Structures are given as C-alpha cells and as structure tokens.
C-alpha cells in the first residue's frame, strides 16, 4: 500500500490508533491494546525532535508487534520553545517547575492528528502512553487534560455526531514506571527496541544522564528487571 493512502477497515473488530513514539511507554501501550483485542494502527509524528533515533525505534516496535507504522511530518521546530525542538541544552539535573524538555502543545497536536486518522479508519479508540506518576511534570500528561481532549473529540467529529463516541485510552496514566515495565514484560515487550533518551545519539544509545534516562533506569531497578538500554561509551546511568 502506498504510504500516502489509508486503507479503511471493513471488518467488525474494534480498531485503535496508537500513538507510538518509540519509547518505553508507548511500546507498552501498543502491547496492552493488542492484548485487549484491538486492531492497532501505530502512528508516529516526525515533528523535528532532536532525538531522531526514536522514530527508528518506533519502526522496530511496530514491526515486532506485527503492525505497520504510519509516520506524519510536522515541523514543530518552526515554533521551538523546547530543548527537544530548539537550540536549548537538554538539562542533566532535575530542576523545579516544568522542564525545558516540555514541547508546547505536543500532545494536543498529536492527539488531534490521531483523531483525524481515527475518523478515516472508523476507529473508536485512540491510545496514548501519558503518565501522571513517574513523569517530568508535563501539563499535557494529566488526567484532566485527557478528559478534556476526549470531550472535545466527541464534539468535533462526524462519528460522534452520528452516535459513535471515541475513547482516549490511557492505560498507564496512574501506573509507576516500575509497574509499566512489569506489565510490558509480562506481555513480551522487548524494551531493547525502544529509545527514551532526550539526547540519544544517531545509533539510539542513551546518555544515561537526562531526566528521561534517570526515570527509565529507576523504573527498571524498582521493577527488578534488567535494564536493556544501550548507553553511550562513558555514560554513567543513575537510578
């Protein structure tokens, strides 16, 4: 199938668009959605993020799950304002307040793109790996944001107007990172395929020092699961 074309399902199964970043959380959500019997359509967004290896990781995760990844292009570097989309250093020490790795409106934009894709597919579910426990304080990872977006989606779509409501599925939102890792491990997720580091190199090797690396490493330690992350030479991962 041409990547620019979308094949609308013609079966009676429930379909879900799964936002897949290539990181640990989204890989777990994809596995959970499949375990629920949902026919999954992974969606990644190439938004100009500095950690480009995550897109390659998303391809690996989607392939391992037996699905086909759709990648959309969106240049959030034109807006900037984040260490992930602008010439701002990624912090290697936790600070107060919302960190500079927060990308303005990212989850709002990505959920909106997923909503459009879901309408075309006649999918009744969007799944996203937001988490309100072991996270970096991002405002668009909170339950109240997800609830507000779901309400908006069900006002804005033809499907909802015609009686088919859409659900935003957030199975990780109240789980700790250790609980996420245990759940994914139980479902056979290969976390060696994933990339979480905010400043991973071109080969996907992690720095071991950024906020995302610290949260990820602490999660594996707390879960009692061996950390499969590939670190750069000389990196000193800490929990």
Predicted confidence (pLDDT) at residue 92 exceeds the cutoff of 90: no
Tell me the pLDDT tens digit for each residue of 30-89: 999 999 999 999 999 987 776 778 899 999 999 999 999 999 998 876 666 554 555 555
Q: What is the pLDDT of residue 235?
A: 67
Give the gyration radius of the chain's Cα atoms: 17
Structure tokens belonging to residue 204 = 């996907």
- pLDDT given for residue 76 in this prediction: 72
pLDDT at 12 over 90: no
9 falls in which pLDDT band (50, 70, 90)?
low
Q: How confident is the prediction for the chain on average, in pLDDT?
A: 85
What domains can be seen in the chain, in order of their start residue? 15-223 (3.40.50.620)
Quote the pLDDT of residue 106: 80
Return the HEC string of the chain. CCCCCCCCCCCCCCEEEEECCCCHHHHHHHHHHHHCCCEEEEEEEECCCCCCHHHHHHHHHHHHCCCCCEEEECCHHHCCCCCCCCCCCCCCCCCCCCCCCCCCCHHHHHHHHHHHHHHHHCCCEEECCCCCCCCCCCHHHCHHHHHHHHHHHHHHCHHHHCCCCCEEECCCCCCCHHHHHHHHHHCCCCHHHCCCCCCCCCCCCECCCCHHHHHHHHHHHHHCCCCCCCECCCCCCCC
Task: Give the per-residue pLDDT at 122.
Answer: 94
Give residue for tokens 């990844």.
69
Mean pLDDT of 186-192: 98
Percent of the chain with pLDDT over 70: 79
So what's the pLDDT on residue 126?
98
pTM for the structure as a whole? 0.86
pLDDT digits (tens, 9 = 90+) for 126-172: 999 998 875 667 777 789 999 999 999 999 888 888 888 999 999 99
CA 193 to chain centre: 14
Nearest of 82, 67, 76, 18 to residue 44 by alpha carbon: 18
Q: How confident is the model at residue 239 (pLDDT cuts 50, 70, 90)?
A: very low
The Cα–Cα gap between 225 and 132 comes to 22
- Write down the pLDDT at residue 4: 42
């Amino acid at each position: 199938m041409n990547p620019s074309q979308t094949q609308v399902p013609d079966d009676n199964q429930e379909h879900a668009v799964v936002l897949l970043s290539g990181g640990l959380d989204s890989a777990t959500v994809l596995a959970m959605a499949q375990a629920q019997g949902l026919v999954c359509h992974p969606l990644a967004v190439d938004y100009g993020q500095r950690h480009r290896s995550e897109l390659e990781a998303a391809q690996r995760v989607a392939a391992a799950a037996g699905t086909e990844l759709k990648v959309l292009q969106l240049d959030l570097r034109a807006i900037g304002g984040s260490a992930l989309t602008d010439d701002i250093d990624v912090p290697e020490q936790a600070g107060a307040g919302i960190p500079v790795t927060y990308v303005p409106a990212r989850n709002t934009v990505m959920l909106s793109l997923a909503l459009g894709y879901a309408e075309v597919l006649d999918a009744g579910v969007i799944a996203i790996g937001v988490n309100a426990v072991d996270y970096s304080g991002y405002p668009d990872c909170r339950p109240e944001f997800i609830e507000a977006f779901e309400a908006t989606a069900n006002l804005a779509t033809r499907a909802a107007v015609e009686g088919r409501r859409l659900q935003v599925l957030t199975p990780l939102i109240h789980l700790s990172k250790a609980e996420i890792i245990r759940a994914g491990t139980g479902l056979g997720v290969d976390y060696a395929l994933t990339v979480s580091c905010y400043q991973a190199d071109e080969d996907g090797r992690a720095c071991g020092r950024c906020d995302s690396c610290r949260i990820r490493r602490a999660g594996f330690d707390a879960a009692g699961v061996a950390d499969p992350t590939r670190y750069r030479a000389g990196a000193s991962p800490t929990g």
